[in-house]
């Protein structure tokens, strides 16, 4: 066995271990451990990705000393390794960009707790990406929820605690449904490892046995993970949680936590139930309907909002709707579009959150639109970054949002029944996106001279500026080099099968 | 469709009804403590379901006594293991929910989540 094959295990155990070590370190050391950890995991994932791309096939890795049907397993393919790398990049940039705000908003004595939570979040995300065992996935889903709850409430104001409570309630409803579905599936098949379950499910499907329990199981699991990733009617916790928590948390919650659940759902579709059975079931139609509703109602709520952070949060609801609409199409190309949108939304949304705090900082900390007038001149780099993020969200070519919308449109055209609603909803949603994002961009570039506001230049906040430039480059990279990325997603999905 | 199957699996049916009760309590109650009680009913219902499914009438726990070695004499221990893991998870999330509730109660002197939201809206921030 090649040494590189140990890397997924190393990444998970290293991030858990750094979390434990951070609890006794001073905040500064904890920060260095955290930065080192994220970079190390990123580098390991990159090496693993290179190795897997070379060999061209996935592998399973035995955890402990028990072989397949009994023991626990990790599985790695190109999609998993690439996702881990991407998540590390976004996490590192979010931590860098929000560090200054963290110093201001959170008590210094609590900083090492924050880094523990981030380490735990990384370990649970990696475990969700790599695991081949459904019950392990459930346990790490819960760890992810707890870490995310801590990230929301590390800034101790009334709003964040209330948001954390609402987040926990919704998440626990979701994980209850997920666990129930998992237990039923275990009862039907007698296995917990994904590949073994898939064989049994395929057998059940060909013999037409237990069709109703199987459908119920798919419904429970999809509903549970959809609730946890804030699909449209279950998004009530989202604006407060993203809008008032410290900015690194908001960026990570919107671009990583919900995406981890969605990635797990894709894995379950492909590796547990089997994509053909999913495509034939009625569950994806439900996901499609709620996805389309989310695309429109999320944008409508964003238009009504007068607070820039909450507006960006509501836009997340719409983007999650896009991803579920892609699932709902029930074709391979729909899933490819969804995975690409996971990447593009993660890169864009964290950029927007971090650019938005730059704009509010130069407007006396106010987040209301009328106070943001001219903020793009007072903090130039944040203004440029916000514009780039907005253009990407609206779907202007050369930015990443355009490619994902193009892929969604191509996927929708392949389906006769769902083509009209999907394409119309996308058109409406793009126009609504343009209304609220362009409104903001125009607002921040209306010239207004204000004496009472400070001016931030690139030289005074170097780290922040570099972070935003990295995000912009990442965004343009996703938009310009989409072809190899789509190829990579396709090969990763075919390795799932 | 229902008849004999339902009566043979009455334990599972009870578990699913309890799950529904817990789920709707967690979703619909206004009082935070009642919500947490709902959460615990929901989780416990799942453990009941697992325990019911894991037991096979006439077999015993997989501990070798009297030298009986056949597999058919014992039940599968994994469902019981899953119940234990699940209990650990639900204890920790319950602890977090309770600590959040204490924090909210100290700030707002009420356990009603809707009223807390109303006050937050009035505060503006």
Taking only the tens of pLDDT, chain A with its 497 residues reads 788 999 999 999 999 999 999 999 999 999 999 999 999 999 999 999 999 999 988 899 888 888 878 888 999 999 999 999 999 999 999 999 998 888 888 888 889 899 999 999 999 999 999 999 999 999 999 999 999 999 999 988 888 999 999 999 999 999 999 999 999 999 999 899 999 999 999 999 999 888 899 999 999 999 999 999 999 888 888 988 999 999 999 999 999 999 999 999 999 999 999 888 888 888 999 999 999 999 999 999 999 988 999 999 999 999 999 999 999 988 889 999 999 999 999 999 999 999 999 898 888 888 888 888 888 888 889 999 999 999 999 988 899 999 999 999 999 987 778 888 899 999 999 999 999 999 999 998 988 877 777 777 777 888 999 999 999 999 999 999 989 999 999 999 998 87
Instruction: Show the CA angle centred on residue A71, arms to residues A70 and A77, nearest 5°.
Output: 120
For chains A and B, CB pairs below 8 A equal 80
Choose among B46, B104, B125: nearest Cβ to A165.
B104
pLDDT at B125 over 70: no
Regarding whether A265 and A294 lie in a shared domain, the answer is: no
The CATH T-level fold of domain B3-123 is: Helix Hairpins (1.10.287)
Mutation target among A69, A117, A156, A172 for the B interface, most CBs of B within 10 A: A172
The answer to whether A485 faces chain B, any CB pair under 8 Å, is: no
The answer to whether A192 faces chain B, any CB pair under 8 Å, is: yes
The answer to whether B35 faces chain A, any CB pair under 8 Å, is: yes
- Looking at residue B9, its pLDDT comes to 85
CA separation, residue A101 to residues A104, A122, A205, A310, A464 (Å): 5, 21, 53, 17, 10
Please state, in angstroms and rounded to a whole number, the distance separating the CA atoms of residues B78 and A65.
17
Regarding whether A293 and A264 lie in a shared domain, the answer is: no
Whether residue A172 and residue B104 make contact (CB cut-off 8 A), yes or no, is no
Domain that residue A1 falls in: 1-276
Nearby residues of B80 by Cβ (< 8 Å), 6 or more positions away: B50, B51, B54
CA separation, residue A396 to residues A340, A350, A442, A486, B81 (Å): 16, 18, 16, 19, 52
> What is the C-alpha radius of gyration for chain B, rounded to an integer number of angstroms?
21
Choose among A135, A176, A186: nearest Cβ to B23.
A176
Choose among A168, A173, A179: nearest Cβ to B96.
A168
Angle between helices A308-328 and A400-413 (to 10 degrees): 30
DSSP state of A107: -
Tell me what ipTM this predicted complex has: 0.94
With H, G, I as helix, E, B as strand and everything else as coil, classify residue B31.
strand
Regarding whether A1 and A68 lie in a shared domain, the answer is: yes
Choose among A159, A173, A183: nearest Cβ to B46.
A183
Tokens of B12: 């599972």
The answer to whether A193 faces chain B, any CB pair under 8 Å, is: no
Regarding whether A46 and A20 lie in a shared domain, the answer is: yes
Q: Which of residues A276, A309, A325 is at a domain's end? A: A276
Tokens of A253: 């919650």
Regarding whether A212 and A73 lie in a shared domain, the answer is: yes
The answer to whether B123 faces chain A, any CB pair under 8 Å, is: yes
Tokens of A221: 């699991």
Whether residue A142 and residue B104 make contact (CB cut-off 8 A), yes or no, is no
The answer to whether A113 faces chain B, any CB pair under 8 Å, is: no
Choose among A139, A166, A176: nearest Cβ to B85.
A139
Regarding whether A235 and A338 lie in a shared domain, the answer is: no
The answer to whether A157 faces chain B, any CB pair under 8 Å, is: yes
Q: List the domain boundaries for chain B.
A: 3-123
Residue A371 · residue A364 · CB < 8 Å: yes
> What average pLDDT does the structure give for chain B?
89
> What is the C-alpha radius of gyration for chain A, rounded to an integer number of angstroms?
22
Regarding whether A287 and A191 lie in a shared domain, the answer is: no
Please state, in angstroms and rounded to a whole number, the distance separating the CA atoms of residues A411 and A399.
20
Please state, in angstroms and rounded to a whole number, the distance separating the CA atoms of residues A125 and A117.
12
- Looking at residue B70, its pLDDT comes to 81
Please state, in angstroms and rounded to a whole number, the distance separating the CA atoms of residues A84 and A130.
9
Regarding whether A328 and A249 lie in a shared domain, the answer is: no
CA separation, residue A478 to residues A84, A251, A296, A484, A485 (Å): 16, 18, 25, 10, 8
End-to-end CA distance of chain B, in Å? 56
Residue with tokens 């999320």: A298
- Looking at residue A40, its pLDDT comes to 96
Give chain A's domain count: 2
Q: Where are the alpha helices (DSSP H) in B9-31?
A: 10-28
Please state, in angstroms and rounded to a whole number, the distance separating the CA atoms of residues A320 and A396.
19
Regarding whether A163 and A38 lie in a shared domain, the answer is: yes
pLDDT tens across B62-118, in order?
888 777 778 888 888 889 999 999 999 999 999 999 999 999 999 999 999 889 888
Regarding whether A158 and A291 lie in a shared domain, the answer is: no
Choose among A161, A169, A186: nearest Cβ to B104.
A161
Q: Which of residues A276, A296, A318 is at a domain's end? A: A276
Q: What is the largest CA-CA distance in chain A?
A: 76
Regarding whether A346 and A408 lie in a shared domain, the answer is: yes
Regarding whether A207 and A179 lie in a shared domain, the answer is: yes
- Looking at residue B67, its pLDDT comes to 77
CB < 8 Å from A in window 57-116 of B: 78-79, 82, 85-86, 89, 92-93, 96-97, 100-101, 103-104, 107-108, 113, 116
Whether residue A145 and residue B93 make contact (CB cut-off 8 A), yes or no, is yes
Q: Which of residues A213, A247, A276 is at a domain's end? A: A276
Nearest residue of chain B to residue A138 (CA atoms): B86
DSSP result, B65-107: -TT---GGGB--SHHHHHHHHHHHHHHHHHHHHHHHHHHHHHH
């Amino acid at each position: 066995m090649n040494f590189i094959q140990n890397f997924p295990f190393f990444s998970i155990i290293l991030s858990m271990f750094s979390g434990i070590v951070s609890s006794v370190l001073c905040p500064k050391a904890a920060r260095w451990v955290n930065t080192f950890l994220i970079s190390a995991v990123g580098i390991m994932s990159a090496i693993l990705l290179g190795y897997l791309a070379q060999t061209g096939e996935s592998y399973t890795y035995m955890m402990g000393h028990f072989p397949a049907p009994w023991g626990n397993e990790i599985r790695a393919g190109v999609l998993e390794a690439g996702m881990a790398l991407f998540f590390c990049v976004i996490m590192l940039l979010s931590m860098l960009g929000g560090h200054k705000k963290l110093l201001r908003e959170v008590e210094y004595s609590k900083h090492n707790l924050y880094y523990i939570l981030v380490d735990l979040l990384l370990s649970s995300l990696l475990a969700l990406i790599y695991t081949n065992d459904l019950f392990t996935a459930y346990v790490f889903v819960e760890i992810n929820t707890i870490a995310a709850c801590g990230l929301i409430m590390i800034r101790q104001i009334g709003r964040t605690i209330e948001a954390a409570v609402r987040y926990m309630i919704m998440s626990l409803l979701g994980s209850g449904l997920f666990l129930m579905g998992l237990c039923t599936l275990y009862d039907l098949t007698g296995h917990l490892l994904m590949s073994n379950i898939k064989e049994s499910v395929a057998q059940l499907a060909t013999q037409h046995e237990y069709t109703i329990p199987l459908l119920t199981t798919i419904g429970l699991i999809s509903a549970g993970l959809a609730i946890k990733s804030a699909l449209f009617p279950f998004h009530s916790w989202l604006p407060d949680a993203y809008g008032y928590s410290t900015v690194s948390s908001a960026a990570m919650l919107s671009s990583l936590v919900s995406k981890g659940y969605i990635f797990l759902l894709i894995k379950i579709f492909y590796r547990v139930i089997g994509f053909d059975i999913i495509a034939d079931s009625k569950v994806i139609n439900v996901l499609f309907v709620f996805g389309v509703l989310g695309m429109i109602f999320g944008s409508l709520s964003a238009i009504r909002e007068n607070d820039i952070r909450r507006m960006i949060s509501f836009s997340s609801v719409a983007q999650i709707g896009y991803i579920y609409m892609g699932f709902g199409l029930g074709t391979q190309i729909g899933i490819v579009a969804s995975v690409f949108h996971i990447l593009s939304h993660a890169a864009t949304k964290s950029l927007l959150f971090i650019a938005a705090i730059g704009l509010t900082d130069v407007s006396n900390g106010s987040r209301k639109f009328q106070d943001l007038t001219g903020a793009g001149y007072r903090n130039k780099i944040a203004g440029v970054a916000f514009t780039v993020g907005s253009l990407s969200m609206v779907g202007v070519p050369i930015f990443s949002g355009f490619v994902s919308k193009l892929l969604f449109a191509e996927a929708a055209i392949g389906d006769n029944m769902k083509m009209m609603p999907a394409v119309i909803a996308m058109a409406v949603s793009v126009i609504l996106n343009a209304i609220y994002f362009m409104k903001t961009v125009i607002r921040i570039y209306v010239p207004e001279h204000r004496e009472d506001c400070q001016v931030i230049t690139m030289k005074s906040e170097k780290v922040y500026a570099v972070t935003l430039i990295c995000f912009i480059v990442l965004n343009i990279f996703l938009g310009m080099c989409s072809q190899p990325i789509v190829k990579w997603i396709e090969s990763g999905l075919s390795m799932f099968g | 469709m229902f008849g004999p199957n339902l009566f043979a699996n009455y334990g599972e049916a009870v578990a699913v009804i309890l799950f529904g009760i817990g789920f709707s309590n967690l979703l619909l109650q206004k009082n935070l403590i009642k919500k947490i009680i709902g959460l615990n009913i929901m989780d416990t219902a799942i453990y009941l379901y697992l325990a019911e499914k894991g037991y096979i009438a006439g077999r015993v726990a997989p501990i070798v006594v009297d030298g009986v070695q056949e597999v058919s004499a014992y039940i599968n221990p994994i469902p019981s293991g899953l119940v234990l893991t699940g209990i650990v998870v639900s204890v920790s999330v319950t602890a977090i929910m309770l600590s959040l509730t204490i924090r909210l109660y100290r700030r707002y002197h009420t356990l009603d989540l809707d009223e807390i939201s109303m006050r937050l809206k009035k505060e503006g921030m």
